[in-house]
Chain A
Amino acid sequence: MNEIIAPLVDEIIRALGTTLNRAIVEDELTRLLEFKVPPEEARRSLLKKYGVSEVRRLSDLQGGERDIEITARILDINLKVVGIKDQERNIFMGTMADETGAKSFTAWKDFGLEPGDVVRVNNAYIRTWQGMPEINFGPRSKVEKLDRDTLDALATADVDRAFPLAELVEGAAAVHTIFRILECRHKEITTKNGPRTIVSGTAADHSAKLPFTSWESNPTLVQGTTVEVKNAYIKLWRGVPTINLSEFSTISRSDTDISNDELSPLLNHEPVRLDSITGRDGVFDAIIEGSLISIRPGSGLIIRCPQCSRVIQKNTCRVHGVVEGIYDMRIKSILDDGTGALTVVLDADLTQKVTGYSIEKAREVAASAMNQSAVEDEMRRRLLGRSMLARGNMTKGEYGITLVADDASLTEMDTAAEAAALIKEMGYAGPVQSGGT
């Protein structure tokens, strides 16, 4: 027996540290093996019982992990009162960072933590919250405050790097970035704690344009200024990554201004190539151009329920029964520029703009063909193969990548000039300049 358990005991003691009596481990292990528990299972059982967590870095945490140990600095923490089973409870939510990155956390009891504290947390677990892994610790977890200097050398490097806007993804916490405010407005909103002024607007740098919302008003947030923000977080709002600034974020005027030159592709409204944006979660106010290679079924003349706006057939809504439908038009198209493809949706106004059809005319066409889909066919005939410029927010969802157009127009090219320019460019061995990447 001893030959089997001795190495196992050694291993367990090594893993648990010296805090445990060797005799206890031997006893318990022997007992488990008497129950014919396989040695590997027995080892696991003991490690679990005496609470050994796996040491992990923040950047590789995945939802669903349990019993892990992390060491990180609290960047911000705030109290939230939540109702759990009709009882009010205080929980603490915030952001923590180690040398590999930052993550949100929730502490389910008061550990007396302050921003700046460096803590070692044992027995934490990871839950996926709003699509991102979040660190959780509660009564079963052990939280130990360390010397505040412990992480100093480490915590600064990557967490302090300012990220370009195009790299900010949903769920990112403790975000440091620099942007220019293209526009902003103050809004009064009502919260459960009374009225409150928030600031929302558009941020831009050389890489992208993103909306931002500051939940606190701040005198630095003025149109035209370049600001540096720290401890912001990114949430998807209507499918587009949005910079959120809370009371725990710092907002200051940047030392260097972002110039018009750096923003010129954005300010000049140049279309971007699809391969440069289809990899992103969502894009705010994208401008794209490509060929219309498909007009999807359900385009053309449609009828909507007057109460819920669902598209209905034969004046029957599947929720509201028989209703007097409202005529509308739309186009669901596939735009493809040879580097990527997405669905572009046009509303009635834009449908009229690109096809010349008003709703009245579409109804006449449908009536004379005695077929509603005659409009769709006619639009397909007019549009398929044509090039279109479209502008709007790009989002990703179950049905793929979609851009709901705020504006759209058909475009023509001076093909002689473009051909001449291309022949000239090809005279050199170098790459062909691709517009807008």
Chain B
Amino acid sequence: MIERELAWRVFAHEFNHSHHFFHEGDERSPNYLVTPTGARINRLYFVGVLTEIENIGVGEDMWRGRVSDHTGGFMVYAGQYQLEAAMFLSGLEVPSFVAVVGKARTFEPEKGTIYTSVRPEELNRVDGQVRDRWVVETARLTFERIWSVRTALESGLKGPQLVNMLIQSGASTELADGINRAIEHYPDLKEYLEILSGTIIDSLKTLLPDTIKTDGTKEVDTVIDKSQALDSATSAVENVPLPEAQPDGKELVYELLGNLDKGRGVPVSELTDRSGQIGLTGDQVDDALKGLMSEGRCYEPKIGILRRV
């Protein structure tokens, strides 16, 4: 019996920070990408927003799509051997929510520079609920892995002893092996885990009830008051203003972006001008746009043009 490779859940940020690819056994045995939290990825599953789609093939079709979550983008390539996926991608509108199951790939144009990408097996258009749920589930699983890696680092163990310890504390054999490899391979793991935790917390915050509604704000405040989240997810969280610090700038820009868009996006200059008319400074508009982009609520289809997702 061949066991099916499970579909790992990782955020784009972590996927794109992974550069340890390995292959063991004969040529038919699978390749794995080891991420900083020890996910040992052959297959992965993610849901995000398609923000770019382009045929980059010369002579024959090779579709390249960028699927963004709140932390970054997955590059998805579909060529002649993924005909169904290529056809599906080429027919999609930007933006749309898409669910992707695929295999992890790496590309190393020169020594030391490694790009990760995904070769899709299954693709589907989904709705916001599916995306939001993926964010929550991926956050939960990633936090668990972060916790396991931290335990591993603190233990000071290495090799088989470390693997045994992790399995005893409830990790699967795949994860225990992945963490062992990650610790060997990634030098500044502790620092990276801090950054990743912060990014994930930011990502989760975008799922909280709309901050502009008063009842919603109250709820968010309670959550943030009660939680000591800011302690562990230090720097990244502090840089993002709390809702009351900037109650409307971002939402106003978001509103404007929607109103001004006649279907082809809005030039940044126009957006800045109109924001100026309602009393926002250029810096405030820049901050708002940065915030909206990192939350995955707007994107830049062409340089200097913005659209809502």
Knowing A385-B124, A423-B227, say if A336 contacts B6 (CB, 8 Å). yes
Across the interface, do A397 and B1 meet the contact criterion of CB distance under 8 Å?
yes
Q: Is A38 an interface residue (CB 8 A)?
A: no
Across the interface, do A432 and B144 meet the contact criterion of CB distance under 8 Å?
yes
Q: How far is the CA of A426 from the CA of B205 in the complex (A)?
A: 13
Knowing A413-B133, A422-B139, A430-B147, say if A334 contacts B4 (CB, 8 Å). yes
Interface residues of B in 220-236 (CB under 8 A from A): 220, 223-224, 226-233
Q: How far is the CA of A350 from the CA of B45 in the complex (A)?
A: 25
Knowing A334-B4, A341-B4, A424-B223, say if A385 contacts B99 (CB, 8 Å). yes
B218 to chain A, nearest CB (A): 12
B204 to chain A: which residues have CB within 8 Å? 419, 422-423
**Closest chain A residue to B228 by CB distance?**
A427
B242 to chain A: which residues have CB within 8 Å? none
| Interface residue tally on A, bucketed by range | 35 or more
Q: How far is the CA of A369 from the CA of B202 in the complex (A)?
A: 46
* Residue of A274, A385, A387, A432 contacting most chain B CB atoms (<10 Å): A385
> What mask results when residues 331 to 344 of chain A are scored 1 for a CB within 8 Å of chain B, else 0?
00010111111100
**Closest chain B residue to A396 by CB distance?**
B1
Interface residues of A in 264-300 (CB under 8 A from B): 274-275, 278, 291, 293-294
Q: Is A416 an interface residue (CB 8 A)?
A: yes
Across the interface, do A336 and B7 meet the contact criterion of CB distance under 8 Å?
yes
Q: How far is the CA of A290 from the CA of B230 in the complex (A)?
A: 30
> What mask results when residues 13 to 49 of chain B are scored 1 for a CB within 8 Å of chain A, else 0?
0000000000000000000000000000000010100
Number of interface residues of B (CB under 8 A): 57
Knowing A400-B2, A423-B201, say if A434 contacts B47 (CB, 8 Å). no
A143 to chain B, nearest CB (A): 39
What is the count of residue pairs linking A and B with beta-carbon distances less than 8 angstroms?
Answer: 138
A166 to chain B, nearest CB (A): 15
Interface residues of A in 393-437 (CB under 8 A from B): 396-401, 412-413, 415-416, 418-420, 422-432, 434, 437
B87 to chain A, nearest CB (A): 12
A430 to chain B: which residues have CB within 8 Å? 147
Which of A294, A342, A420 is B223 in contact with, Cβ under 8 Å?
Answer: A420
Q: How far is the CA of A339 from the CA of B134 in the complex (A)?
A: 14
A429 to chain B: which residues have CB within 8 Å? 150, 232
Q: Is B219 an interface residue (CB 8 A)?
A: yes
B85 to chain A, nearest CB (A): 12
Q: Is A363 an interface residue (CB 8 A)?
A: no
Across the interface, do B231 and A427 meet the contact criterion of CB distance under 8 Å?
yes
**Closest chain B residue to A429 by CB distance?**
B232
Across the interface, do A416 and B208 meet the contact criterion of CB distance under 8 Å?
yes
Which of B3, B129, B144, B229 is A400 in contact with, Cβ under 8 Å?
Answer: B3
Q: Is A381 an interface residue (CB 8 A)?
A: yes
Q: Is A354 an interface residue (CB 8 A)?
A: no
Q: How far is the CA of A339 from the CA of B145 in the complex (A)?
A: 11
Q: Is B263 an interface residue (CB 8 A)?
A: no
Q: How far is the CA of A274 from the CA of B8 in the complex (A)?
A: 13
B20 to chain A, nearest CB (A): 20
Knowing A291-B45, A415-B136, A423-B229, say if A338 contacts B9 (CB, 8 Å). yes
Interface residues of B in 192-249 (CB under 8 A from A): 197, 200-201, 204-205, 207-209, 219-220, 223-224, 226-233
Across the interface, do B207 and A380 meet the contact criterion of CB distance under 8 Å?
no
Q: Is B130 an interface residue (CB 8 A)?
A: yes
Q: How far is the CA of A294 from the CA of B172 in the complex (A)?
A: 23
Q: Is B143 an interface residue (CB 8 A)?
A: yes
17 sample A-B contacts, Cβ–Cβ < 8 Å, listed by A number? A293-B45, A293-B101, A293-B122, A336-B45, A337-B137, A384-B124, A400-B3, A418-B136, A419-B207, A420-B208, A420-B219, A423-B205, A423-B223, A427-B229, A428-B232, A432-B147, A437-B170
- Which B residues form the contact surface with A (CB < 8 A)? 1-9, 45, 47, 99, 101, 121-126, 129-130, 132-141, 143-144, 147, 150, 170, 172, 197, 200-201, 204-205, 207-209, 219-220, 223-224, 226-233
